[in-house]
Amino acid sequence: MINEKELVRKEINRLKQSLSDETAACFSQKICRRLIQTKAFQEANCIALYHSIKGEVETVSLIEEWYQKKKIALPVISGKDLRFYSYTGKEDTTTGVFGIREPIRSEEITTEKIDLFIVPGIAFDRNLNRMGRGKGYYDRFLSETEKPIIGLCFGFRLIEHIPTEKHDKKMTMILTEDTIVSPHHQSPPNRHVDSAQSLSASS
């Protein structure tokens, strides 16, 4: 299964190279607009977000727009664990593990205080499974919650099948630039999904 996941990661990384910065920015805006319209986002008082890096749905603008309206928590890697701390502004962040911006550790936000988790991923599938970078940070943290979890990704990261393990946590919803996946809503496959099906079949 490890080799199978690595094949998926390699193919997704290859597809990522064809996504221009301009297209990524346009898609990110569409995805974030969809996110803001969800009931889970509108009703949440405290939201766990992520500070995006290149190749991920851009969330920095979303964070800046909403951190004074809702409590926004961002992840900090601490050893083998993922912890979340309150975001209070750009000036109170530092560069952490993997070069990701993270809040300076002031107020820790524990799992039970978070109403909604918004997460990135290397790939997602239509059964609401997520595949990360293989370190297990999100898997371990999310195993403790029953709150809504929304995965954000570009369409090429949404494939038909991801190999899963017992500890993997399913998403409540997955949003791409032109697809919504949830137990009650399945948008039809798009060209990005079609292009990714082959990697799932071959892996």
- 99: amino acid identity, one letter: G
Q: Which of 3.40.50.970, 3.40.50.300, 3.40.50.720, 3.40.50.10420 is the CATH number of 45-181?
A: 3.40.50.10420
Instruction: Write down the pLDDT at residue 198.
Output: 40
Sorted by where each begins, the domain ranges of the chain are 45-181
Buried b (16+ CB within 10 A) or exposed e, 33-61: ebbeebebbeebebbbbbbbeebbbbbee
Quote the pLDDT of residue 202: 38
Axis crossing angle, helix 191-202 with helix 2-16, rounded to the nearest 10: 150
At position 109, the amino acid (one-letter code) is: I
The candidate with the shortest Cα–Cα distance to 18, out of 190, 119, 155, is 155
Tens place of pLDDT for every residue, the chain, 203 residues?
Answer: 568 888 888 899 899 999 999 999 999 999 999 999 999 999 999 999 999 999 999 999 999 999 999 999 999 988 888 999 999 998 888 888 778 998 987 789 999 999 999 999 999 999 999 998 877 789 888 888 999 999 999 999 999 999 888 778 899 999 999 999 998 776 655 444 443 344 433 33
